[in-house]
Each structure stands twice: as C-alpha cells, then as structure tokens.
Amino acid sequence: MLKKSYSKTGAACRVTFKYENEEQAETAVLAGDFNDWSLQATPMKKLKDGSFSATLSLPAGQNYRFRYVLDGGVWVNDTAADGYAPNEFGEANSVLAL
C-alpha cells in the first residue's frame, strides 16, 4: 500500500510504503531507484499487526521502481503499486508515480 502526501509547493512527496506481510516474514527492506537498490539503506519497521512500514520524502514529478525484500532474499511487489515495469531478471518491479 502506498500513501502519498505532497508538500505545499508540490515539489516533494512524503510516501508511506506498507507491506501487509502475508508471508509472516521477520524482516523487510525497501529497495528501489531512490536508494540504489540497497538492502541496508531503508529497513522497514515491523508493526504490531505484523505488517511492515517505511516513510520516505521523494522529489515529485518522477517514477520510481521498487520492491520489498523479505528476510534478506525474497523479493516481492506491492499489490497496490501505481504500475509495474519489467526488470533485467525476467520479473517485474513495482512502480511509484509521483
């Protein structure tokens, strides 16, 4: 799930990424264009209901590809992403449109 909140000028957007975690993963990381697909830069917080959440402020007017990485190696998409784009691994990445 993606929750977007644009700045008054519209130049930036605060985005909350939430993953429901049906897999019951212990950890999750948000990886994407905005952090060079790092598996360390954006760890997600595990919430009381077992889901994961992370919030970033990003420049508006761009599309960003991203995925969630569960337990250090399971790459999954956001079912509520703005779209999907193929990647070089024969799979698809989630797309965030700002």
The per-residue pLDDT for range 11-21, each reduced to its tens digit, is: 999 999 999 99
Q: Is 35 helix (H, G, I), strand (E, B) or coil?
A: helix
Question: From residue 20, how far is each of 7, 28, 47, 60, 90 by CA, in Å?
Answer: 26, 11, 10, 25, 24
Phi, psi of 54 (to 5 degrees): -150, 145
- State the Cα–Cα distance between residues 64 and 98, nearest whole angstrom: 8
Say which CATH topology domain 2-97 has. Immunoglobulin-like (2.60.40)
Give the pLDDT confidence of 22-59 residue by residue, as tens digits: 999 999 999 999 999 999 999 999 999 999 999 999 99
Single pTM value for the model: 0.95
